Amino acid sequence: MQRISRRRLLASGLVLPSSAYLSSAGVLPAAPLALAQDAAEATLNPDVTSGKELYLLSWDNYKATGMETWLPDFEQEMGGRVVLDKVASNSLQDRQIVSLSGRTGEYDLMTVDEPYMPAFSPYLMDLTPLIERDGFPVDDWVPIMWDAGVYEGKVYGIPFDPNVQILYYRQDLLDALEIPVPTTWTELYDAAMAAQDRDNELWGMAIMTKRDPQTGINLWTFINAWGNEMFDENHQAAFANDQGYAAAEFFKQVADNIAPAGHAGYDYAGISDAFATGKAVFMYNWASNTLNITEGELSVVADKVGFAPPPGEERALSMRGVWTMGIPADAPNPEAAWEFIKWFTTQESMFKYIEGGSGKSPRLSVLDSERFQETSPDSEAVAATMKIAEERPIYKEYEEINTQLQIFASQLTAGELTPQETIDGLAAELNAIMQAGGYQQ
Amino acid sequence: MAGYEVATVRPARAEDSLLRRLRRSRTLPGYLFLAPALIVTVAIMLYPLVFSLQTSFESYQLARPEEREFIGLDNYLWTIQSPNFLNSITVTLVFTAAAVTLEFLLGLALALLVNREFRGQGLVRTMLMLPLFLTPSVVGLLFVRLYYPGDGLVPLFLSLFGLDNNFPLLGTRATALPAIILMDVWRTTPFMFLVLLAGLQSLPQEVIEAAQIDGASPWQILKGVTLPLLMPLILVALTIRGMDAFREFDTFMLLTGGGPGQATEVISMMAYILAFRAYDIGRASAVAWVILILVLIFSVFFVKKLRDMQMES
Amino acid sequence: MTTQRRNVGAGRAVLIAIALLWSLFPLYWMYSTAFKPEALDRRVPPVFVFQPTFENFERMLRATPFLQYLKNTLIVAGVTTVAAVALGSLAAYSFTRFRYPGSDFLPLAYLVMRMLPRFVLVIPYYLLMRTFGLLNTHSSMILAYLGFALPFTIWMMIGFFKEIPIELEEAAMVDGGDRLRVFAQIVLPLAAPGLAATSIFAFILAWNELLFSLVLSGRDTRTLAQLPLTFSTDRGTEWGMVMAAGSLTLLPVIAFALLVQRHILRGMTLGAVKG
């Protein structure tokens, strides 16, 4: 089944990750798929880490799983110990601001999701001098990925795990109906309508709509796919127009007609659960969910799933979600923490990280390798998606924007607001945030 | 006692005099016994409150720590004009009123049910009061499971009556707040039950028996005799439960996170989000102080009432 | 007449049975899910009869920092209890045995403090604990919990002290005992059952607290009330483990509640109701 999808992708010319990444970078020439080459690495200095205990605050998800598998190697090679403090998804950012602004010195290292970088930057160490001092191999990072750790010209985090949303589909169900893999949202909607069987709890698309960050991201995704940006260059909300209304209208249709009947009560894990247990034809979700589907204990669709880049509408794109590793300004062992980052982002460590969980890597030499291709069945789709990944607006107010998105999106899908009211109301709130933040005059 | 003090005025050494006077005085030991608690209270209640009064007049955002400045009443003006604040207050009051009323009625019914002597009364009372003490965050998670669409027990139970078992009880405006109220009723009805049961058991039996002999129906006795006698107690119970419901946070956080939209965003959650997600310490402090003032006014009235009652009894 | 009474009794029995079912079923479901094999958990219709297993408990203890959180909770709740009861009973004794400027007003002030919504204090606590370098320490939580435990203990102990006949103390005073010794040797032993009830009450309060813990605790000091927040991950929610953690968290609370049920009313109503 997967071979079919591979051929389709090949035909669409999106398959070679190397060309995908490199052309997305825009400046580098395309290179052929190759075995992992020995990329340049910064010199490691085990003397600094020897005997040190480093505390790392991580999201309790695949990242922690991926790290746990090879952290013992760090102890062996570098002589230091890394203690993971794992915090659940919904409270991670709350804990981070409390700890960072509290200057508690609890952590030497922190995983930071890129949109929070501006808000956290006053409390993170500027890594630029260390990068220059140690000849950190910046050139091996996909440039748009590297940017995720940069704010106002300073590097506050080293990108280690780029995530994108991809389309998961049930190859067997589509084949039975001879429906091709959809490339636009409208096609997806029609395919879902045709393939679902709502009376028997087979839903068209696993998606959630309760007040949750993922629900806001869903609305954002549709707004982008219908051709709009969130903000224009004057920091004005730029989506209150006919396409914006159409995008919101589409989300409402999805919720009403192809989402699970209980979509407004699903939590984030519920989406992946529903798809893995064979209750949905499609799922649009972060690629980090793949292992739940292909290797999860409860999964019944491991051999029936296909992966594809996100559908487009006016345009095809995916939101970039790069996680970076930063050092709090009050870290007790900043030098050792920096050594850890260098070690952690070496090519070999990155492979181990990817193989241990469902993470990816922002390093060209990793992405270009066959070893990476073999790590996960979704590699091709992910690689193709990264080509069309776009960054989110860089504001200290990200969490406020995020909150408004969740509020309006959940009101839209609950039928409390019309698509037009949703879009206009959201735009007004976002403009208010931009005004309060001093971005608009 | 006073005589002792006079008698000890002429000791040989001044130290001794102080020590003795301390021992014999009726006022000083009172303060000494109180002092530790009072010092702690000033340090951890009064001082923090005054401190937050100061931040409520500042523009202070955690994401812009270097730009902290005094801005007068701006945060308060923002608060009272904010639709979010109005919404949160409304949601909180609706939740409080509905939950407390239901708990009172149900608690009264249970208390009347269990009031008469029967074998196993103590055990029944114990089992009925259990939910009251459970860790709220754990209860929250338990009810997330019970309400989950598809395979949660509550939607499955409702599907016996023809409803869709996939109905998202926590996901629609019409049902989210009622679902949380139902959880709160489960968890805290025992409070009303225990208070009212104690009240019922302390009522003078003669009055009720006299009413029975006069041929009054149970309903008439309840309305005409029992409830009026219990009224002061009922007021206390309603107030205490009401104030607790007013600050509920844990279960909302776990069940809905404030959604859908802001349908269940209670005031404690609004303040939390403002401080730790919008990073706006100044505005969050102002919101807290507006609430504080409202609660203070209310509780001063309540305390006066309570004191009058205690003096009567 | 007798038959009628029996009929009423039967009707009442049914109602009581319904009330008990309502009150205990969610708890039963939590414990039953905790002992249920994971594979049976999400079945529709739900599975009620199964071979119980400790699988969920074992996995939960391995996968979550339950024991560390338990240790923190015991420390924080334990110290809070001791401090609140010690300070609270001294203050309560002062309020019931002495008259001085403030002896009428202060107990009422504590009553008002009991009414304050806790979120009002969260921000200043966070900022102050930061200033004093107390974030991520047990002390910060103990201090914060003490703030709301104290009004409870003071008012519960006022009730208990009022019941102790003052003549006993006066007799001891005449014999030449000083105040503190009278308090320690005569009053406290008499108030022992009340002290125990008050302690347990304060302990449960601290055990259950989430909001302050969320903001003041850190890497090394998180408490059990936070554990429910750690189960929403992208691996899916493992309800067997959730319920295993929940049922262990509730165990001591249930045990304590059973122990102090006679005095619980006084705690809930600040002495307004004796129970």
Residue boundaries of the structural domains of chain C: 2-57, 60-269
State how far Cα A226 lies from the chain centre.
Answer: 20
At residue A391, does pLDDT exceed 50? yes
At residue B279, does pLDDT exceed 60? yes
**Taking CB atoms and an 8 Å cutoff, what residues of chain B touch C144?**
44
Residue C270, pLDDT score: 60
> Containing H/E element for B131?
none
Suggest the residue from C62, C219, C229 to mutate for an interface test with chain A (most A CBs closer than 10 A): C219
Confidence band of B23 (pLDDT split at 50, 70, 90): low
Tell me, yes or no, if B171 comes closer than 8 A to chain A by beta carbon: yes
Interface contact B45-C249, CB threshold 8 A = no
Interface contact C119-B37, CB threshold 8 A = no
Dist CA C275 CA A135 (whole Å):
74
C161-189 confidence digits (pLDDT tens): 988 888 878 777 776 667 788 888 888 88
Distances (CA, A) of B306 to A6, B107, B239: 76, 21, 10
Residue A8, pLDDT score: 33
Interface contact C219-A269, CB threshold 8 A = no
CATH class of B74-312: mainly alpha
The partner residue sitting opposite C234, judged by closest CB among A57, A91, A268, is: A268
B168-185 confidence digits (pLDDT tens): 999 999 999 999 999 999
Six token digits for residue B117: 């002597």
At residue A25, does pLDDT exceed 60? no
- Count contacts between B and C (CB, < 8 Å): 270
Interface contact B51-C261, CB threshold 8 A = no
Residue A289, pLDDT score: 81
Confidence band of C268 (pLDDT split at 50, 70, 90): low
**Taking CB atoms and an 8 Å cutoff, what residues of chain A touch B259?**
210-212, 406-407, 410
CB A193, CB A256: distance < 8 Å: no
Six token digits for residue B271: 């303040």
Tell me, yes or no, if A210 comes closer than 8 A to chain B by beta carbon: yes
Q: Are strands A321-326 and A158-163 parallel, antiparallel or unpaired?
A: antiparallel
The partner residue sitting opposite C112, judged by closest CB among B30, B268, B296, is: B296
Dist CA C101 CA C103 (whole Å):
6
Confidence band of C43 (pLDDT split at 50, 70, 90): confident
Burial (0-12, 13-18, 19+ Cβ within 10 Å), C54: exposed
Residue C177, pLDDT score: 62
C106-154 confidence digits (pLDDT tens): 988 998 888 888 889 999 999 999 999 999 999 999 999 999 899 989 9
CB C257, CB C242: distance < 8 Å: no
Confidence band of C3 (pLDDT split at 50, 70, 90): very low
Q: Which domain holds residue A203?
A: 165-319+395-436
Asked if residue A404 and residue A343 are part of one domain, the reply reads no
Q: How many domains does chain A have?
A: 2
Dist CA A181 CA A311 (whole Å):
9
Whether A286 is covered by a domain: the verdict is yes
Distances (CA, A) of B302 to B25, B49, C111, C114: 34, 21, 10, 12
Tell me, yes or no, if A256 comes closer than 8 A to chain B by beta carbon: no
Dist CA A180 CA A170 (whole Å):
11
Confidence band of C266 (pLDDT split at 50, 70, 90): low
Interface contact A93-B278, CB threshold 8 A = no
Six token digits for residue A210: 């309760």
**What does pTM read for this prediction?**
0.88
Evaluate whether ipTM surpasses 0.90: no
Amino acid at B216: A
Interface contact A85-C130, CB threshold 8 A = no
| Mean pLDDT, chain A, whole residue set | 86
- What kind of fold does domain C60-269 have according to CATH? MetI-like fold (1.10.3720)
Q: Nearest CA to B100 among B199, B250, B237, B206?
A: B237
Whether A252 is covered by a domain: the verdict is yes
Dist CA A126 CA B81 (whole Å):
40
User: Which chains would you list as touching A if contact means 3+ CB atom pairs under 8 Å?
Assistant: B, C
Residue A32, pLDDT score: 40
A98-149 confidence digits (pLDDT tens): 999 998 899 999 999 999 999 999 999 999 999 999 999 999 998 888 999 9
Whether A30 is covered by a domain: the verdict is no
The partner residue sitting opposite C46, judged by closest CB among B124, B133, B153, is: B153
Asked if residue A402 and residue A359 are part of one domain, the reply reads no
C54-111 confidence digits (pLDDT tens): 999 999 998 888 999 999 999 999 999 999 999 999 999 999 988 888 888 898 899 8
- Greatest alpha-carbon pair distance for chain C in Å reads 75
Confidence band of B21 (pLDDT split at 50, 70, 90): low
Confidence band of A354 (pLDDT split at 50, 70, 90): confident
Amino acid at A258: I
Query: Which residues are A325's β-sheet partners?
Result: A111, A158
The partner residue sitting opposite A60, judged by closest CB among C126, C215, C230, is: C230
Residue ranges of the alpha helices (H) in A147-195? 171-176, 185-195
Instruction: List, by residue range, all CATH 1.10.3720.10 domains of chain B.
Output: 74-312
Q: What is the CATH number of the domain that holds A76?
A: 3.40.190.10
Confidence band of A67 (pLDDT split at 50, 70, 90): confident
What are the CB-based long-range contacts (under 8 Å, 24+) for B21-27? B23/C178, B23/C179, B26/B1, B26/C98, B26/C99, B26/C100, B27/C98, B27/C99, B27/C100
CB contact burial A405-436 (16+ within 10 A = b; e otherwise): bbbbbbbbbbebbebeebbbbbbebbbebbeb
Dist CA C179 CA C187 (whole Å):
10
